[in-house]
Structure 1
Amino acid sequence: MSVFLCKDGDSWASCAGGEITKPERLNLQRALEGRPEVESVRFEDRQQAWESFRRQYEDDPELLKATTPTDMPESFRARIRAGADASAVARAASELPGVSISFDQACLVDNGWPWGLVKRLLGSEEQCSFMGKGQ
């Protein structure tokens, strides 16, 4: 599960107050670590996010030239315990100040092609991402 943090200049409505503050970041980390569904929490700074982005898009030099580490948001990556509801954690995180958006990545994969199409046709598609509401 990923929780992306507000940075200056973000267009997310929840980030109108600007970059996440240190107290907000600490509060978010404590909230994530305090949830029984969460096994571990890791902070990813902009440089780490850039390195990951660079590896993921190494075959797209134009995109890499147009993107810098300052374009990357900081985030928290939470490992959710087996059988726990990661979407509930993502939803709760989105309610806190300084959060731009949170994702349940397992849900995104599960709702991808072809199972996502089947779920949509059956009317049982899950919500996997949650816009930040805090600030």
Structure 2
Amino acid sequence: MDSPEMEELSFGDERQEPEPRTGRFRRPLVVAGLAVVLLGGMAALGIGGWRFYGQSRWPLSPPEEAPPPSGFFSIYMCLLPTPELPTCHDGAATEEDKRQVEAALKASPEVRIFRFRTREQGWEDFQEWVTPGDGSGSASVYEPADVPEAYHGALGPGDWQGVKRRWEGLPGVSDVIVFGDTAWRGRADIVIEFCPDRGDDAYEPCERTPRASEQEKAAVLGRIEDLDGVEAVYFEDLAHALQDRRRMLWEATEVDPLVVPEGFWLKLDRPGRSSEMREIFGRMPGVAAVLEVSAPPQWRFAVTPGAGG
């Protein structure tokens, strides 16, 4: 495998056509404006006048096939002297430290592509991907002074644990984060996540609210149906959400289902509508977050380096 070049990394808009399938989650029938009939076991009901996605205009089931092994990584460089971290004992990363990191990346066959980001560029990235209204709460606690220099890149199949361990031991490296990729990349553009059973630690809108109700999900679906330019809507239940979360958090020994959200995944007629979607859905009851699927995983999970990096 050729050594990867230091070029601009795109987290992709590899859009795919939705599968022509009928989903398990059905839009509830709203009677007299308030009475909501849940359609879990009543999915076969035919309600005239509804617009359909594909042949049915109902939310599609999530993709069943697993994507090829792929992932993303971030290598954060030291900012400050950190005695408890041997690689940051002497302070901020030097130019020689960065040359060693680049050599290690070019020598790793798992690395498909990578790029270096200065502290200023890192702050711009953070502002682009993690914005007020996304529900994560990170935008209010992360500051420019917290942003270290970093390398970000994409991984193919291979020994992720081995390369991560080697990178963590390099001088000037404070932290290494490796995520698996989501099954939704290329299939959807926006995810509207609902408050899980316990969302207070990860989602600001869920601090004082319980798990999103079926009525709240129905209200969101109704608003989706009013939008122009929505090519497909998928409903991801907890079982599929857990499977995808485990794929991304591949190092975790377990993933707590109480903090994993269900959600609607939208394929749009064009990219670049995340601000519009956050404005529409970000404050609706039961909504935990509105996120762009193309966002790097480290921003989706609000990974922020500590003082060493």
TM-score, with normalisation over the residues of structure 2? 0.33
- If each structure's helix is expressed as a fraction of its own residues, which one has the higher value? 1
Pairwise CA distance, 1:20 = 0.6
Contact kept in structure 2, 1:4 and 1:101, CA below 8 Å: yes
Structure 2: tracts of 5 or more residues without a match: 1-72, 181-245, 258-309
Query: Per the alignment, in what secondary structure is the counterpart of residue 76 of structure 1?
Result: strand
Pairwise CA distance, 1:86 = 2.3
Provide closer, same or farther for how the CA distance between residues 80 and 111 of structure 1 changes in structure 2, counting only shifts above 3 A.
closer
Pairwise CA distance, 1:46 = 0.7
Q: Which residue of 1 aligns with 2:124?
A: 51
Structure 1: tracts of 5 or more residues without a match: 119-135
Pairwise CA distance, 1:94 = 0.3
Provide closer, same or farther for how the CA distance between residues 44 and 61 of structure 1 changes in structure 2, counting only shifts above 3 A.
closer
Instruction: Please tell me the residue identity of whatever aligns with 2:162.
Output: A
Q: How does 1:63-78 map to 2 (within 5 A)?
A: 63=140, 67-68=143-144, 70-78=145-153
Structure 1 consecutive aligned stretches of length 4 or more whose deviation exceeds 4 Å: 9-12
Q: Work out the percentage of aligned pairs sharing the same amino acid.
A: 25
Query: RMSD in angstroms over aligned alpha carbons?
Result: 3.0
Larger relative contact order (CA 8 Å, sep ≥ 6): 1
Provide closer, same or farther for how the CA distance between residues 27 and 108 of structure 1 changes in structure 2, counting only shifts above 3 A.
farther
Larger Rg: 2
Contact kept in structure 2, 1:32 and 1:78, CA below 8 Å: no
TM-score, with normalisation over the residues of structure 1? 0.69
Whether 1:20 aligns to 2:93 is: yes
Pairwise CA distance, 1:39 = 1.4
Cα distance between partner residues in 1 of 2:155 and 2:178? 10
Instruction: Please tell me the residue identity of whatever aligns with 2:94.
Output: T
Provide closer, same or farther for how the CA distance between residues 11 and 74 of structure 1 changes in structure 2, counting only shifts above 3 A.
farther
Instruction: Please tell me the residue identity of whatever aligns with 1:91.
Output: R
Query: Per the alignment, in what secondary structure is the counterpart of residue 124 of structure 2?
Result: helix
Q: Which residue of 2 aligns with 1:5?
A: 77
Q: 2:255 aligns with which of 94, 110, 116?
A: 116
Bigger Cα displacement from structure 2, 93-102 vs 32-41:
32-41
Pairwise CA distance, 1:63 = 1.9
